[in-house]
Amino acid sequence: MSGNVTIDKVLVSILQRRLKSITEEMSIAMTRTTRSPILCEAKDFVTGLYDARGNMLEQTENLPILAFSLAPVCKYIIEYYGDDIHPGDVIFHNDVFSMGNQNNDVAVYKPIFFDGELVAWAACKGHQADIGGAVQGGYNPQATEVWQEALRIPPIKVYEKGRRRKDVWDLIFANIRLDIVEEDMRAEIGSCVVGERGMLKILERYGREVFEAHKEHLFDATESMMRQEIRTIPDGVYRGESKAYYDGQNPGSEYTIRVAITVEDGRIRFDYTGTDPQTPGFVNGTFTSSASATILTFLQMVNPDMPHNQGMIRPIEITIPEGTILNAAYPAATTYGNHLCPNNADAIMRALGPVIPDRVTAEWNELLCSLTTGKDPRKEGAPFVDIGFMGMKGGSGGIYGCDGYDHIGMIDASGGVLDQDYEMFEQQTPHRLIRHEYWCDSAGAGRWRGGLGVVTEFEIGGEAVKLVTFGDGDVEPARGAQGGKEGTLNVIRLRYPDGRWYTCTTKDMVADVPAGTLYYQEAGGGGGWGDPRERPAEKVLADVRNGVVSLERARGDYGVVIDPETWTVDEAATAELRS
């Protein structure tokens, strides 16, 4: 179709910028209209545009772990409906056995027609506060199969030819606990309408033929940019391994992720053959959650200033055998799967770190998160749900030329998910915050140190409070790189009003937590990069004066001797220690 169109290279740039700005508009619409804090505060959603075949045109990736399942699902939907796709259709999807990444991440797809032809798709996917299943919020460590976790939505049309299918709509929302989910799904549809309007403007202006030809050229240009980035990695096969700890069912269980990365002629292949079998519980990845984890980790090793479209993905090939912990077979439970991203990222960083040391961070703190539900006596017993974003944000790994990022949280989001505001937290939950501070000596020492971890304490309030935890990082800390030191571990503990302490497991469900219980969480620091004795002494001094590195560690890890009376570096003693 593009045979007789002359490519206008400038138009290619303009098209890319326009597509990006449409997906940003879609994202704004979501932020402003949704009600669940997971969406409107934490921005746990992605918006995107896809061509008629489901190829990614552009995306706004607030939470990258969701981002790279949208195009595969779009392709699946196109195949599923065949010629039964019409103007005015709106399709829901969350099914993890047809390319969905997580049950709670529910997507909306809207086909875009121009001159009677299907030309593109607008899509939005957000983490919904509830999607049915045995446990409110979806995180159910006891689940062993998908039906205990969620309502499965293989693609279903909720609007057909512009008419809402009331029966279908009501069936879905009759199986979901919270009424805000219905509103938030309306917001996702609204976001797709915004995307559709933007796409139509482009098509009206340039026509289909010019659009298609320039789109292909954009894909090619982006692919060549990505291939050029990959070519800076020496050809070869690189292997890495990492462990995921505790499947939520068998204490002490361990699972190994194994990746072989082949770099050849500007292409890169990630092959997870040899990864351990899936777990009996919900600690299982899906193909797209693991593929997203792979892509987002790799994107952090290349030029960050690259358009996000199908061309970017083309040189990347991913193989994940079914039946493994990264791609569990039907009908496994998988809600935890997104959170295998940190473990998965470690395997990739361990494989490539030695090859391109200046482009790979030391390891990041792994996620450990909690969720509390209960009733708020201040609001006549109204239910509350709180995902503990505030407590979970540890540090990222240091990298050549830059310290790790403090209090950033899981690599799946890479700083895209925000804490609740402190005062809003006390309005929305009956808990009272006591402490939320940088954790001294949590960051792995290094020439560029890891990002700082955080200590959080709050007093639990309310009635019928239940606590769920999910995560990892209590066994193995974030490792350092190139001589840098490791970060600290994660832990969540409860001190009951009678003074008794309980240390939560990383996949726990604790019922009937009484008001007055102290919640204590340490989110660990990231690993350091490079020999800490090469860190400029004045930077170490600044960290010590700011109370994020102790005098002892300054001396022990960094070889810097500081006089706390005068706050000066003892140059002679330091030189001796460092020699």
Partner 1 sequence: MAYKIGIDVGGTFTDFLLTRDDGSSAIYKVLSTPKDPSIATVQGIEEMARDRGLTAEQFLSEVTTIVHGTTVTTNATLTYSGARTGLLTTRGLRDALEMRRGIREEQYNNRYPNARPVIERRLRLPVDERLGAQGEVITPLDEGSVRAAVEVLRAEGVEAVAVCFMNAYANPAHEARAAELVRELLPGAFVSVSTEVVPAIRLYDRVSTTALNAYVGPVLRRYLESLTRKLADLHYRGVLLIMASNGGVIAPEVAMDRPATTLLSGPAGGPVAGLAFSRGQGYADCITCDMGGTSFDVALVKDGKPLTTTEGDINRLRISLPMLDVVTIGAGGGSIGWIDEGGLLRMGPQSAGADPGPACYGRGGTRPTCTDADLLLGYLDPAFFAGGRIPLDVDAARRAVDEHVAGPLGLDVDAAAAGMYEVINVSMAAAVREIAVNNGYDPRDFPLVTAGGAGPNHACQIALELGIPVILVPRESSIFCAAGMLRSDLKHDFVRTYPTRLDGIDPDRFRALCREMRDQGLALLADEGIPADRVTVGLTLDLRYLRQYHEVGIEVSWDEAEACDPAAIAAKFHPQHDALYGYSLEDKGTPVELMNIRLTAIGRTDKPSLVPEPRAGEDPSPARKGVRRAYLPGERAFADVVVYDGMALRHGNRFDGPAVIEQVNTTTFVTPEFSVVVDPYGTYTLYRKEREDEILGRVLG
Q: Looking at beta carbons only, is 73 or 362 nearer to partner 1?
A: 362
Residues 317, 267 contacting (CB under 8 angstroms): yes
Residue closest to 102 by CA, chosen among 62, 55, 150 = 150
Which residue(s) pair with 319 in the sheet?
A: 271
Q: How far apart are CA 318 and CA 466, in angstroms?
A: 39
Centroid of chain to Cα 352? 21
Binders of partner 1 among residues 307 to 346 (CB under 8 A) are 307
Measured from the CB of residue 198, what is the shortest distance to partner 1 in angstroms? 9
Piece in contact with partner 1 (CB under 8 A), picked from 48-56, 157-165, 411-419, 508-516? 411-419
Contact between 550 and partner 1 (CB under 8 A)? no
Contact between 5 and partner 1 (CB under 8 A)? no
Q: Looking at beta carbons only, is 76 or 364 nearer to partner 1?
A: 364
Measured from the CB of residue 325, what is the shortest distance to partner 1 in angstroms? 25
Piece in contact with partner 1 (CB under 8 A), picked from 11-19, 105-113, 114-122, 552-560? 11-19
Q: How many CB atoms lie within 10 A of CB 500?
A: 9
* Binding-site member from 98, 396, 442, 490 for partner 1 (CB under 8 A): 396
Binders of partner 1 among residues 221 to 240 (CB under 8 A) are 221-222, 224-225, 228-229
Q: Looking at beta carbons only, is 416 or 559 nearer to partner 1?
A: 416
Contact between 551 and partner 1 (CB under 8 A)? no
* Binding-site member from 403, 441, 476, 557 for partner 1 (CB under 8 A): 403
Measured from the CB of residue 18, what is the shortest distance to partner 1 in angstroms? 7
Query: Which are the contacts of 507, defined by CB distance < 8 A and separation ≥ 6?
Result: 141, 246, 247, 248, 281, 282, 283, 336, 469, 470, 471
Burial of 161 (0-12, 13-18, 19+ CB in 10 A): exposed
Which residue(s) pair with 91 in the sheet?
A: 109, 157
Site string for partner 1, 88-127 (x = CB under 8 A): ----------------------------------------
Site string for partner 1, 271-310 (x = CB under 8 A): -------------------------x--xx--xxxxx---
Measured from the CB of residue 184, what is the shortest distance to partner 1 in angstroms? 11
Q: How far apart are CA 507 and CA 368, in angstroms?
A: 9
* Binding-site member from 216, 457, 472, 474 for partner 1 (CB under 8 A): 457
Q: Site for partner 1 (CB under 8 A): how many residues? A: 84
Site string for partner 1, 183-222 (x = CB under 8 A): x--xx--x------------------------------xx
Q: Are strands 105-114 and 90-93 parallel, antiparallel or unpaired?
A: antiparallel
Q: How far apart are CA 65 and CA 416, in angstroms?
A: 11
Q: How many CB atoms lie within 10 A of CB 174?
A: 9
Piece in contact with partner 1 (CB under 8 A), picked from 68-76, 88-96, 262-270, 544-552? 544-552
Binders of partner 1 among residues 353 to 372 (CB under 8 A) are 361
* Binding-site member from 53, 164, 239, 545 for partner 1 (CB under 8 A): 545
Residue with tokens 């020439």: 447
Q: How many CB atoms lie within 10 A of CB 374?
A: 24
Binders of partner 1 among residues 47 to 86 (CB under 8 A) are 61, 64
Contact between 21 and partner 1 (CB under 8 A)? yes
Contact between 12 and partner 1 (CB under 8 A)? yes
Q: Looking at beta carbons only, is 110 or 258 nearer to partner 1?
A: 110
Cis peptide before 532 (omega within 30 of 0): no
Amino acid present at 452: L
DSSP letters for 431-493: -EEEEEEE-TT-SPPSSBPPPP-EEEEEE--SEEEEEEEEE--SSSPPPPBTTPPP----EEE
Contact between 554 and partner 1 (CB under 8 A)? no
